[in-house]
Structure 1
Amino acid sequence: MSQPSSPEGRARSSSPAADQVSAGNALWADVRALLPSTKKDLKLDFSEKVEESVISLLQQARDLLYGAGSLCSGGTRETCLQVSEIIIDYSWEKLNIGTWRDVDKDWRRVYSYGCLFKVLCMCSEQGTIADAIRVCDMGLLMGASILDNILVRIINVLQKHLTYGKRSAEEDTKESPRKKIRNDHTTIPSVKSEEVIPRLHCPSLEHFRENYMIPQKPVILEGIVDHWPCMKKWSLDYLRQIAGCRTVPVEVGSRYTDEEWSQTLMIVNDFIDQYIVNKNSIGYLAQHQLFDQVIGRKYIRLYSPQESENLYPHETQILHNTSQVDVEDPDLVKFPKFERAAFQACILTPGQVLFIPVKYWHYVRSLDVSFSVSFWWS
């Protein structure tokens, strides 16, 4: 017959529910420690452009946060959550009236405060941490910095409490039809000797500046990013782990000129599952660019600014730096001069960095699932 467990043994045992409550309390304590210590320190200073009724709502949410009743109590939390949602919804309308440059910064700050108060409500209950991170990201993307960039600091705390589970076998094998089709039919173009972009191994800054940057000549730099942690760490699984629940702006579509091309906000995991988009239009930037290949391969063509006439730029101001030509399948009846356009080309592999001079037209096509990091400067 088994012996009853000792009081000490019973004290050491815990249920999953108890562990969840303990974890939730620890999260709330860590997030609460980031806030100003008193209500007076959490100042809500706005210009007259923000209505008094909105400021009153912000003050109400702040009072609930610092009030005698705990935000962890159901009634207080629900009231604060409702007020936060009203603030977010109203300020969202202000953010989406007219053009973005005309949006007053105070309304962006109001939106960030609404996101802050909502996240605090979410952290005070046993909610989904990933959902709270999404709210913070929206405040960062659409709002403005508040309280010494508190939303970034809250995300850092939330990510420490986030448990990353392994993806299921179904998730591992699931691939979007678009990605499958692209990978199954990818052709690797040949690069003729006269088209090859020159390569340099670890040049000095002076040599690069004098021989390539100033005269604006493309070059592939090798051996300069081998020490980057991403060259050894990055993979789809790693990106899911460190950023899978983060919300980011995404350009959806193959070409800027396609009717279905759009911009949206998306969770990184959803982007990886659905798109890994091959953006293969040709255009130029008004800045120098270092194009660093991290994962996979890309086929790249470069056309000098002198070839602009042969590339048939769009006539509209918004697309004046984008060519009308489908580079690898050109309509030479419609664009006959394109056949005369000289170019340089390469297949960029992991660890290589391509210098693209200012106003050089560049065409990029992924040959594998790939990731790149770009730096621009004037």
Structure 2
Amino acid sequence: MATLWSKISAVLPVNEEQFPLHFSDKVESSVVEMLKRCRQQLYSNAASSSRMLGAQIILDFSWEKLNTGTWHHVDKEWRRVYSYGCLFKVAALCHEDPSADRIQEAVRICDMGLLMGAAILDNILQVIVGILQSEIRKSADGEDESEHAEVKRIKIDCPRVPVIKEELAVPRMKCPSLESFSTNYLLPLKPVILEGIIDHWPALNQHPWSIEYLRSVAGCRTVPVEVGSRYTDEEWSQTLLTVDEFIDRYILNKHGGKALGYLAQHQLFDQIPELKDDIRLPDYCCLGDGDEEDITVNAWFGPGGTVSPLHQDPQQNFLAQVVGSKYIRLYSPEDSDKLYPHQSQLLHNTSQVEVENPDTERFPQFAEAPYLECVLQPGEVLFIPVRHWHYVRSLELSFSVSFWWS
């Protein structure tokens, strides 16, 4: 049987000459020299400690560059340097016969490269993390059955579903034609729930998404997690956890914590291709002006009780519900003055009002703003027109996918 290192080395360039290290003059020559030294060690019998030291120097130096100023101003060259540092550290961790802990650490390093770095060598970190995951799955057969029982209890927990008055309900359409959707909803910018348009998704049939499935394809992967019930709370923060840690801490609540955690990010599907293969772009996105690669796909996974405060986005949005249900309220941008947006530039697209418990003295006009509402169920897709204000509360364990397009 091939060793782990032989599998990894098989996807590396065959020799130093075919391992490119080309950077602009924005990257100091001393850093490039260190990268070349790490490359040379990759194809030699250098000691593991020496490999590790070189890789860590690159990671520490480039990490400082990534965290200087705003992310928008970070040069892509330094993101590439960081990815090379991740590659060299993974090689150092896995070169000999690595322990389970070292393999898990190598997965974490790959994920950091995928999250913070830029693609190198035909996205080699994505290829290597797949090899490492296969290795981890081999030794993960002895799973605790009590965990499954706990998950099943969560699944059958029935949420309290709000009663939606008919006159306030978001209209529904089953598989409208492109022309019908465009004429009746897209052009006049009217919300609608689309039924039957994602029934073909593997996430709803061949590979039904669940806690068990998420663990199996992504349990060891490191992802960004939002901690707190809503991003406007003072105690809200962000952290990095493995998917397993996130599930144990915030879904199954194994550690007794009361804080809510939410996995909300746009890189999840690029980072974990198995999940990306389980979804499809809605056909109606073709009515937009941009190309397919301009569509932003977001993942939203978390327990009941998590809230997206009333806010608006600068693009059209298809919100597809895969697991669980959500209560959603929508307001027209024409009524923005009644919704009391924050004055700060950072939160100018977010209302100050707590939608389901408004302070009528501070925000007297809020009660006058007309709205539509719905409970979005698995298999349904809500069209949220550009700049329409929307408030979202998860009624139970929920996994949604949103598509932002123009």
Among 72, 79, 82, the alignment partner of 2:50 is 79
Gaps of 5+ in 1: 1-21, 70-74
107-116 or 126-135, larger mean C-alpha shift: 126-135
Matched, 1:148 2:176: no
48-57 or 290-299, larger mean C-alpha shift: 48-57
Q: Which residue of 2 aligns with 1:312?
A: 340
Query: What CA distance in whole angstroms lies between the structure 2 residues aligned with 1:204 and 1:268?
Result: 38
111-120 or 47-56, larger mean C-alpha shift: 47-56
- Pick the structure with greater CA Rg: 1
| 1:56-107 superposed Cα distances (whole Å, 9 cap, x missing partner) | 221111111112x2xxxxx622210121112111211111111112222221
Tell me the SS of whatever aligns to 1:318: coil
Q: TM-score, normalised by structure 2?
A: 0.80
Tell me the SS of whatever aligns to 1:28: helix
Tell me the SS of whatever aligns to 1:43: coil
Deviation at 1:318, TM superposition (A): 1.2
Tell me the SS of whatever aligns to 2:16: coil
Gaps of 5+ in 2: 251-260, 262-301
Query: What CA distance in whole angstroms lies between the structure 1 residues aligned with 2:223 and 2:242?
Result: 6
Among 52, 71, 88, the alignment partner of 1:117 is 88
Query: What CA distance in whole angstroms lies between the structure 2 residues aligned with 1:226 and 1:173?
Result: 28
Matched, 1:342 2:370: yes
Against the structure 1 CA distance between its residues 264 and 43, is the aligned structure 2 distance closer, same or farther, given a 3 Å change threshold? Answer: same
Query: What CA distance in whole angstroms lies between the structure 1 residues aligned with 2:30 and 2:385?
Result: 52
Against the structure 1 CA distance between its residues 174 and 52, is the aligned structure 2 distance closer, same or farther, given a 3 Å change threshold? Answer: farther
**Superposed, which structure 2 residues align to 1:264-283 within 5 Å?**
264-273=239-248, 274=250, 275=261, 276=302, 278-283=306-311
Which residue identity is paired with 2:311? G
Against the structure 1 CA distance between its residues 310 and 187, is the aligned structure 2 distance closer, same or farther, given a 3 Å change threshold? Answer: farther
Deviation at 1:214, TM superposition (A): 1.0
Deviation at 1:156, TM superposition (A): 2.1
Among 37, 62, 68, the alignment partner of 1:60 is 37
Deviation at 1:153, TM superposition (A): 1.4
Q: How many residues align?
A: 343
Which residue identity is paired with 2:141? G
Q: Which residue of 1 aligns with 2:256?
A: none
Deviation at 1:310, TM superposition (A): 0.9
Contact in 1 for aligned 2:63/2:82 (Cα 8 Å):
yes
Query: What CA distance in whole angstroms lies between the structure 1 residues aligned with 2:136 and 2:351?
Result: 45
**Superposed, which structure 2 residues align to 1:23-42 within 5 Å?**
25-42=2-19
Q: Which residue of 1 aligns with 2:351?
A: 323
Which residue identity is paired with 1:81? M
**Superposed, which structure 2 residues align to 1:151-190 within 5 Å?**
151-163=125-137, 164-165=140-141, 167-169=143-145, 171-172=147-148, 187-190=160-163
Q: Which residue of 1 aligns with 2:283?
A: none
Query: What CA distance in whole angstroms lies between the structure 2 residues aligned with 1:224 and 1:32?
Result: 43
Q: Which residue of 1 aligns with 2:278?
A: none
Deviation at 1:37, TM superposition (A): 1.1
| 1:245-293 superposed Cα distances (whole Å, 9 cap, x missing partner) | 1122222222222111223322111222223251231101011111001
Which residue identity is paired with 1:282? L
Contact in 2 for aligned 1:253/1:279 (Cα 8 Å):
no
Contact in 1 for aligned 2:319/2:381 (Cα 8 Å):
yes
Among 193, 212, 218, the alignment partner of 2:166 is 193
Deviation at 1:185, TM superposition (A): 11
Deviation at 1:26, TM superposition (A): 2.6
160-169 or 56-65, larger mean C-alpha shift: 160-169
Query: What CA distance in whole angstroms lies between the structure 1 residues aligned with 2:353 and 2:379?
Result: 30
202-211 or 166-175, larger mean C-alpha shift: 166-175
Matched, 1:294 2:322: yes
Which residue identity is paired with 2:107? I
127-136 or 291-300, larger mean C-alpha shift: 127-136
Which residue identity is paired with 1:197? V
Query: What CA distance in whole angstroms lies between the structure 1 residues aligned with 2:377 and 2:196?
Result: 12
Identity of aligned residues (%): 55
| 1:3-23 superposed Cα distances (whole Å, 9 cap, x missing partner) | xxxxxxxxxxxxxxxxxxx5x
Query: What CA distance in whole angstroms lies between the structure 1 residues aligned with 2:81 and 2:367?
Result: 54
Q: Which residue of 2 aligns with 1:127?
A: 99
Against the structure 1 CA distance between its residues 205 and 292, is the aligned structure 2 distance closer, same or farther, given a 3 Å change threshold? Answer: same
Deviation at 1:356, TM superposition (A): 0.5
Query: What CA distance in whole angstroms lies between the structure 1 residues aligned with 2:235 and 2:47?
Result: 45
| 1:203-243 superposed Cα distances (whole Å, 9 cap, x missing partner) | 11111111111111111111111111101321011001101
Query: What CA distance in whole angstroms lies between the structure 1 residues aligned with 2:129 and 2:6?
Result: 14
Q: Which residue of 2 aligns with 1:138?
A: 112
Query: What CA distance in whole angstroms lies between the structure 1 residues aligned with 2:308 and 2:23?
Result: 45
Q: Which residue of 1 aligns with 2:70?
A: 99
Deviation at 1:184, TM superposition (A): 9.0
Deviation at 1:369, TM superposition (A): 0.6
| 1:125-167 superposed Cα distances (whole Å, 9 cap, x missing partner) | 3233332111111011111111111111112222232223354
Against the structure 1 CA distance between its residues 261 and 344, is the aligned structure 2 distance closer, same or farther, given a 3 Å change threshold? Answer: same
Which residue identity is paired with 1:267? T
Q: TM-score, normalised by structure 1?
A: 0.86
Among 216, 220, 223, the alignment partner of 1:248 is 223
